[in-house]
Structure 1
Amino acid sequence: MTTHEQPTGNLTFDECWDLLDSDTLGRLAVVVDGHPEIFPVNYVVHRRSIVFRTSGVTKLWNAKEERPAALEIDGYDPHTEEAWSVVARGGTGVIEDQADRDAVDILGLEPWQPGEKVHYIRLSARALTGRRFKVTRPDVWNTRVQDRRRASFE
């Protein structure tokens, strides 16, 4: 290991779920017409799955076809100077049961974007991975002024 490399650590299954549960915004990746598309979605964790709402079209079509998808979240803690990333991969499906929809609504799943989002989509994670790593100090290499890491070192 060189002086500029930092060790990384894999997150446990429970740590991944804790981080997913503590966040509200992720990037949903689906395949559309043979190429990847990525959409920001706000979500909640319900019964160890990820649930979001949509108005339809691409995300709904993928869910109705029960196609695979992935959701990624990441973050940075300026106090510990650590970054982390979690990726959940699995199948999607439409939630039709009103009791499940009500349970999700109680968790505070409200769309950020205006408009009617009447379709509830569940991503059931079949693979869940995450890692945490110490961020390289910005004085080791040049960073942009707006880089969030700078504040914790200045």
Structure 2
Amino acid sequence: MYDFDDEGPMHVLHPEQSWDFLRAREFGRLAFHLVGDVHITPINYAVDTDNRIIFMTSEGSKLFGVTANRDVAFEVDEVVDERATSVIIRGRATILEGQDRYIIEQLPIRPWVASPKSVVVAIEVDEISGRSFDLSRPWLHDIPRQ
């Protein structure tokens, strides 16, 4: 899946590999500040043509948090067979209003929970980093097969 320049069990993803990884998925975790604490919550998302993370939400702590302090982090990870991949973004959340909010009509955002979400949020990315790990997990090979 990836072409790595490094050797060993940990591989640094090139930025475009990290973006490809994010584009191929739709579920991640948003970390945000809320009244002096850091919170983390799952979200469905899509990546737009400007390499922003777009998600929808409703009134509540998540919206209050990203409005009160725009600095956020976002993470998507995956473990498949003997490989784990993780991409982390740091950036700033912005509520999209007016014509800007119609970006969702061009994206495959599919809410997993049937609750009303009318607020569109974009994460403007300041930093992206991705890693892939070759897993050994020897304990999996010690499990007796039935």
TM-score band by shorter chain is: 0.7 to 0.9
Cα pair 2:34 2:64 within 8 Å, conserved: no
What is the deviation of 1:56? Answer: 1.8
**Kindly, what percent of the aligned residue pairs are identical?**
32
- Write the letter of the residue equivalent to 2:10: T
> Aligned pair 1:86/2:98, yes or no?
no
Task: Give the drift of 1:115.
Answer: 1.5
- Structure 1 gaps of 5+ residues are 1-5, 146-154
TM-score after normalising by structure 2: 0.83
Structure 1, 67-76 or 131-140: larger mean CA deviation: 131-140
Unaligned runs of 5+ in 2: 1-7
Match of 2:19 among 17, 20, 27: 17
8 Å contact 1:66–1:93 — kept in the other structure? no
Residue 107 of structure 1: aligned partner: 107
Counterpart Cα distance in 1 of 2:60 and 2:121: 12
Counterpart for residue 68 of structure 1 = 71
Structure 1 runs of 4+ aligned residues shifted over 6 Å read: 140-143
Structure 1 distance, partners of 2:16, 2:93, is 21
Q: TM-score, normalising length from structure 1?
A: 0.79
Aligned positions, number: 136
* 2:60 counterpart of 1:57: yes
Name the counterpart of 1:8. Answer: 10
CA RMSD across the alignment: 2.1
> Could you say what secondary structure the match of 2:138 adopts?
coil
**Partner residue, 1:132:** 132
After TM superposition, the structure 1 = structure 2 runs for residues 19-58 of structure 1, keeping only pairs within 5 Å, are 19-46=21-48, 47-58=50-61
